[in-house]
Structure formats: structure tokens, C-alpha cells
């Protein structure tokens, strides 16, 4: 058991440092906590020095603490999502054990850990895994609060854990932290007509606890920033859910595709579990039907986000712990079994991925230059073979040692997915500025820390991290429009103003798209090229050696 745990932990945490932070999400969510630490302001989030109110601060705080304790780096930036994912796996094990026994809990945990989308989001820096952990804690605590065999005080304690978990979910990603559990419970009550359930939620102590956790930051940030509430609640919640225009559109079936692909290699197992979940009941100790509630958790959350005008794959991440718990309990009860056909399908998927690897560049939407200019194809090939090998070993062991079979396919899936992630480093130049910044620093002998750095017509979220300071935006707003409106002096709105400032400076730096650089060359703007890539060009006002070198990436 210790050996198995060690392998899982090695795969789970072993590559957090290896990959560069990718634009946009990883750069954004690594930079905000870094600016909290350097500025000392832990109330008003800032991105590139500008006020940024799109999300609440809990994950920023946790990442900032990891920077202070362990230093700022890729692995500390990704530490909270990885830890939150592992803790969620532990919650699913604990809940499965309470519902159907230790083997059910172990099966559910293994399924969840080796689910493609769940593992992926535990390895990349977004807010989705933190939200998923707290929502899963709320769900598990709610189920525990309905255990008829527990003492009343214990049930009330679990109800309070549920309220606290929802509050922390709100501080992680906004109102969805309480809206999603409320919607699921409301639909369950309407269908089951178990109105007595409402009396078992400890409202008298739970609501004050919820508000006591949530309100302090919201009140304080509003006092310091009077425009916060309108932006956060109206624009970032109501408008984003109801209105188009955030470049996150998708058809009504968008999340059905996401769930099928994200559930690999357990898509068939999860589908069977959902179809059987509405009719099954694996635990009679609870004062409700847990399988029906878990099924509703998956369906209601999926429908809720399918109706939204804004769609991203991470939105439905909270459904995976529930469906894994449902599948684990049903597998143990014998109502659903891991069959050879399912394992054969996993093996076939792995072999198909391996065979198709050299031809992926021909698929619509795949960046051809990214595939051909990198070593990504061998990683895809290896990933497919490892996935197929794990399923093959599981097939051989399934009739003799079911635990060995489950472990083989789980570890094979984890290793397969990690190989894909590690291989993504080979195309890092498309999504990170680290390499081009290093080239520019070598050419310049280090950036002068007193010279301004302009970002003209673009903004890469990873750039401030690698140069160690914010950049001055030129002709760019996007998600920073609110911050620029609050502090317009921190940005430049026209090329003419940029050129005027540039000419007046003895030394300065800028990053531009290649076509903008050509336009400035034709306009006779004095620029010395320090580094160039197909994505961007970094230039200096003049070629001046500087002994005051800045670090390649931000450090604390």
C-alpha cells in the first residue's frame, strides 16, 4: 500500500516544476498572488499593477503564502491546485467508505484520480480545482449530516462544515460556490418532496457562519474600491452568465462533449453509473437517497452551465467527484462491473492515440506549426502506449485480483496523462514568454530595472513574471479594461503617444507582435531587436549593457 501511494504521489506532484507557466490562466493566477506579496496589499487583487476584480481572493492568498514559505516558482504556483485535487480524491475515498465500505471508497478514489479532466486540472494553475475541492467538501459534509446512525451533535457539526465549505467555495470563485449546491438541493427537494430535509441544515448557526467567513473581504474590498460590487456581481456574474461577448461561446451540447472526453478512460463506466444512479440506493443509513442526490449533482450542474452564455471546460469540473463516488459505490455493489469490454475499449483508445500521433496535425484546429516544430509527437505516442499497456495488464488480472486490475489501469492512466503534460513543454514557446525573455536578457546584458517596459498591442500574462515587474500596456485593454479605467495613467491608449514617450527616453524596452514591429520600423521608430519569435519581438530603445540584471523569472 505504501508503494502504491508513493507512486501516485510521485506522478501527482513530480512534474509541477518541469513545465513553464502557460498564457493566459497560469500566468494570470501566478502573477496576482506575487503582486500581493510584493505590494503588501492582500485586499485589492492586482494584475500587472492594475486592479483586478474578476475573482475572489482565496486562491491568491493560498498561493501567496506558498510563495512566502517556499519561494515563487512554477511548482509553488501550481501547488494549491495539485493539493486541492489530492484532497478531493481523499474526500471521495472517505465518502465512499461511509456509503458502501472501504473497497467502494478506494475504487471511487482510483476512478477520480485517473479521470483525464480531473487530473489535468490538478496539474495546471486555474481556480477550478480549488472550487471543486470546497464544493466536494460541502457535498460530502451534507451527506454525513444526514447519517441517521450519528448523534445529533455530530450531524449538526457536519452541517456546519457544509456551510463553511460553501463559504470557502464562494471565496474561491464567486457565487457559484453557494448557487450550485442550492440548485441541486432545490431540485432534489422538489422531486423527492422531503421537506423535512430543510430542518436538518442547521440554518441558525450555519447562515451566520457562512456570512462570517464570506462578508469580511467583500465589505473591506468594497470600502476601498467603491466600484467593486457593480463590476463583480453584475458584470462578472449576471452578465457573464446571461450575455454573449466573452469569447467563451459554445453550443448547448458543449459540456456533453467535455464530459465524455474529460471522463476518459472511464467514460463508459461513468455513463453506466449515471443511468443506474437514479434507481439505486447503496446506503440505507442516510435520511435521503444518496445515489439520486449524486446523480442530480451531475445533471443539474451540467444543465446550469449549458444554459450559460459563457462556457469553458473547467466549469463542470465539480461533477467528476460525484460521478466517481457514484460509480465506485455501484462497482462495489455489483450493479456495475469493470468488464473486459470496457478495458478493451481503454486499450483500443490508447493504441488509436499512438497510431494517430503522427497525423494529428491534419485535424481541424490543431496548430500545425506547433506539432511539427516540436517533440510533442513522441510524447503523444508514448502516452497512448502506456494507456494501452495499463488496460492490458488490468485485463489479465481482472478475474484473479480485481484490486490489481484497478491499480494497473489507474496508474497507466495517470502516467499516460502526465506524459502528455510533460510533452507540452516542447511547445511552451507558443504559450510562454520565458524563452524569449531569456534571449533578450542575454542580448542586453540584463534589463535596466529603471527603464520602462512597454507591451504594445498585446499582453502575455507570463511576461511580468519573467521580467520581474509590471509592463505598461499600449493599445490594449481586454480583461484589464476596468483596472485601466480606474488608473488610466498606467496605460497608453494610442500608438502616437507611445512613439512620443519612446523617443523621449534614453532607454526603454518593448514587446510587440511581428507585424507591429514592422510598422514601427517603417515609421523610423528607433528600436534594437533583442529577441524574436513567430509570436513576438522584444526590442530596446538602444543597445546598452547593464550590470543591474533582473532575474529571469520573478522571485521573492
Q: Are residue 275 and residue 364 in the same domain, yes or no?
A: no
Which pLDDT score is estimated for 371? 47
Is the separation of the CB atoms in 147 and 285 below 8 Å?
A: yes
Mean pLDDT of 411-438: 91
Q: Are residue 459 and residue 422 in the same domain, yes or no?
A: no
Containing H/E element for 19? Answer: none
Q: Which comes out higher in pLDDT, residue 397 or 469? A: 469
Query: Among the three residues 309, 337, 365, which one is the final residue of a domain in this structure?
Result: 337
Where helices occur in 253-289 by DSSP H, the ranges are 254-262, 267-277
Any domain includes 240: yes
User: 163 pLDDT exceeds 70?
Assistant: yes
Q: Which comes out higher in pLDDT, residue 279 or 258? A: 258
Which pLDDT score is estimated for 365? 52
CA-based Rg of the chain, rounded to a whole angstrom? 25
Q: Are residue 140 and residue 237 in the same domain, yes or no?
A: yes
Which pLDDT score is estimated for 353? 87
Q: Are residue 473 and residue 377 in the same domain, yes or no?
A: no
Q: Are residue 213 and residue 175 in the same domain, yes or no?
A: yes
Query: Among the three residues 371, 398, 428, which one is the final residue of a domain in this structure?
Result: 428
Q: Are residue 282 and residue 367 in the same domain, yes or no?
A: no
Mean pLDDT of 323-332: 87
Any domain includes 394: yes
Q: Are residue 321 and residue 281 in the same domain, yes or no?
A: yes
- Grid cell at residue 368: 500545425
Mean pLDDT of 1-28: 88
Which of 76-80, 95-99, 261-265 is most confident?
76-80
Any domain includes 508: yes
Which pLDDT score is estimated for 489? 92
> 431540485: which residue's cell?
187
Packing angle between helix 2-13 and helix 402-423, nearest 10 degrees? Answer: 20
pLDDT tens across 19-66, in order?
999 999 999 999 999 999 999 999 999 999 999 999 999 999 999 999
Query: Among the three residues 412, 428, 444, which one is the final residue of a domain in this structure?
Result: 428
Any domain includes 556: no
Other Cβ atoms closer than 10 A to 418: 21
Q: Are residue 324 and residue 235 in the same domain, yes or no?
A: yes
> In 72-93, which positions are buried (b, 16+ CB within 10 angstroms) versus exposed (e)?
bbbbbbbbbbbbbbbbbbebbb
Compute the C-alpha angle 295/296/299, nearest 5°.
90
Residue 548 pLDDT level (bands cut at 50, 70, 90): very low
β-strands 537-540, 528-532 pairing: antiparallel
Residue 344 pLDDT level (bands cut at 50, 70, 90): confident
pLDDT tens across 122-141, in order?
999 999 999 999 999 999 99
Q: Which neighbouring-strand residues pair with 532?
A: 537
Phi, psi of 116, rounded to the nearest 5 degrees: -55, -55
Q: Are residue 408 and residue 439 in the same domain, yes or no?
A: no
Which pLDDT score is estimated for 361? 61
Which pLDDT score is estimated for 242? 76
Mean pLDDT of 61-85: 96
Residue 353 domain boundaries:
339-428
Any domain includes 39: no
User: 385 pLDDT exceeds 80?
Assistant: yes
Any domain includes 66: no
Any domain includes 21: no
Q: How many domains does the chain have?
A: 3
Mean pLDDT of 489-505: 95
Is the separation of the CB atoms in 471 and 447 below 8 Å?
A: no
Q: Are residue 326 and residue 359 in the same domain, yes or no?
A: no
Q: Are residue 127 and residue 232 in the same domain, yes or no?
A: yes
Which pLDDT score is estimated for 546? 45
CA distance 123 to 314: 13
- pTM exceeds 0.75: yes
pLDDT tens across 180-235, in order?
999 999 999 999 888 888 888 999 999 999 999 999 999 999 999 998 999 999 88
Any domain includes 486: yes
Q: Which residue spans within 443-507 are E strands per DSSP?
A: 453-456, 472-474, 491-492
Phi, psi of 7, rounded to the nearest 5 degrees: -65, -45
β-strands 472-474, 491-492 pairing: parallel
Is the separation of the CB atoms in 195 and 210 below 8 Å?
A: no
Residue 279 pLDDT level (bands cut at 50, 70, 90): confident
284: which residues sit within 8 A by CB, 6+ positions away? none
Q: Are residue 186 and residue 269 in the same domain, yes or no?
A: yes
Amino acid at each position: 500500500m505504501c508503494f502504491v501511494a508513493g507512486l501516485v504521489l510521485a506522478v501527482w506532484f513530480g512534474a509541477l516544476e518541469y513545465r513553464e507557466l502557460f498564457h493566459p490562466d497560469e500566468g494570470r493566477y501566478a502573477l496576482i498572488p506575487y503582486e500581493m506579496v510584493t505590494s503588501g496589499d492582500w485586499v485589492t487583487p492586482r494584475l500587472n499593477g492594475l486592479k483586478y476584480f474578476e475573482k475572489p481572493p482565496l486562491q491568491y492568498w493560498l498561493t501567496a503564502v506558498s510563495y512566502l514559505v517556499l519561494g515563487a516558482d512554477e511548482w509553488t504556483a501550481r501547488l494549491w491546485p495539485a493539493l486541492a485535487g489530492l484532497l478531493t480524491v481523499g474526500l471521495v475515498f472517505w465518502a465512499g467508505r461511509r456509503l458502501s465500505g472501504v473497497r467502494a471508497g478506494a475504487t471511487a478514489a482510483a476512478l477520480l484520480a485517473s479521470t483525464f479532466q480531473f487530473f489535468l486540472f490538478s496539474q495546471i494553475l486555474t481556480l477550478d480545482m480549488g472550487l471543486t475541492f470546497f464544493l466536494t467538501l460541502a457535498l460530502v459534509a451534507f451527506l454525513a449530516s444526514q447519517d441517521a446512525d450519528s448523534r445529533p451533535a455530530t450531524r449538526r457539526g457536519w452541517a456546519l462544515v457544509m456551510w463553511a465549505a460553501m463559504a470557502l467555495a464562494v471565496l474561491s470563485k464567486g457565487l457559484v460556490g453557494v448557487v450550485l449546491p442550492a440548485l441541486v438541493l432545490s431540485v432534489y427537494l422538489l422531486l423527492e418532496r422531503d421537506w423535512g430535509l430543510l430542518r436538518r441544515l442547521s440554518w441558525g448557526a450555519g447562515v451566520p457562519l457562512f456570512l462570517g467567513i464570506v462578508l469580511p473581504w467583500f465589505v473591506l474590498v468594497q470600502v476601498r474600491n467603491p466600484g467593486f460590487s457593480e463590476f463583480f456581481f453584475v458584470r462578472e456574474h449576471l452578465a457573464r452568465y446571461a450575455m454573449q461577448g466573452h469569447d467563451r461561446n459554445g453550443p448547448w451540447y458543449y459540456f456533453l462533449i467535455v464530459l465524455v472526453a474529460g471522463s476518459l478512460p472511464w467514460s463508459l463506466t461513468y455513463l453506466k453509473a449515471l443511468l443506474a444512479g437514479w434507481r439505486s440506493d447503496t446506503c440505507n443509513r442516510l435520511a435521503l437517497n444518496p445515489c439520486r442526490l449524486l446523480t442530480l449533482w451531475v445533471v443539474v450542474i451540467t444543465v446550469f452551465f449549458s444554459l450559460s452564455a459563457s462556457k469553458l471546460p473547467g466549469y463542470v469540473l465539480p461533477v467528476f467527484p460525484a460521478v466517481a463516488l457514484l460509480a465506485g459505490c455501484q462497482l462495489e455493489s455489483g450493479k456495475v462491473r469493470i468488464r473486459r469490454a470496457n478495458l478493451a475499449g481503454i486499450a483500443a483508445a490508447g493504441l488509436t492515440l499512438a497510431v494517430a500521433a503522427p497525423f494529428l496535425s491534419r485535424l481541424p484546429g490543431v496548430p500545425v506549426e506547433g506539432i511539427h516544430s516540436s517533440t510533442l509527437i513522441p510524447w503523444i505516442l508514448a502516452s497512448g502506449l502506456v494507456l494501452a499497456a495499463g488496460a492490458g495488464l488490468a485485463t489479465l488480472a481482472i478475474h484473479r485480483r480485481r484490486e490489481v486490475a484497478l491499480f494497473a489501469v489507474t496508474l497507466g492512466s495517470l502516467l499516460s496523462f502526465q506524459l502528455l503534460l510533460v510533452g507540452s513543454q516542447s511547445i511552451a514557446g507558443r504559450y510562454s514568454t520565458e524563452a524569449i525573455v531569456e534571449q533578450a536578457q542575454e542580448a542586453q546584458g540584463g534589463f535596466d530595472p529603471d527603464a520602462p517596459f512597454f507591451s504594445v498591442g498585446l499582453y502575455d500574462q507570463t511576461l511580468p513574471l519573467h521580467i520581474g515587474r509590471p509592463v505598461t500596456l499600449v493599445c490594449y485593454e481586454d480583461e484589464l479594461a476596468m483596472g485601466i479605467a480606474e488608473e488610466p495613467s498606467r496605460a497608453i491608449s494610442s500608438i502616437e503617444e507611445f512613439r512620443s514617450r519612446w523617443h523621449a527616453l534614453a532607454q526603454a524596452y518593448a514587446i510587440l507582435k511581428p507585424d507591429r514591429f514592422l510598422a514601427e520600423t517603417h515609421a523610423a521608430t528607433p528600436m534594437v531587436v533583442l529577441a524574436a519569435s513567430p509570436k513576438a519581438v522584444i526590442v530596446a530603445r538602444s543597445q546598452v549593457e547593464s550590470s543591474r540584471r533582473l532575474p529571469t523569472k520573478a522571485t521573492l
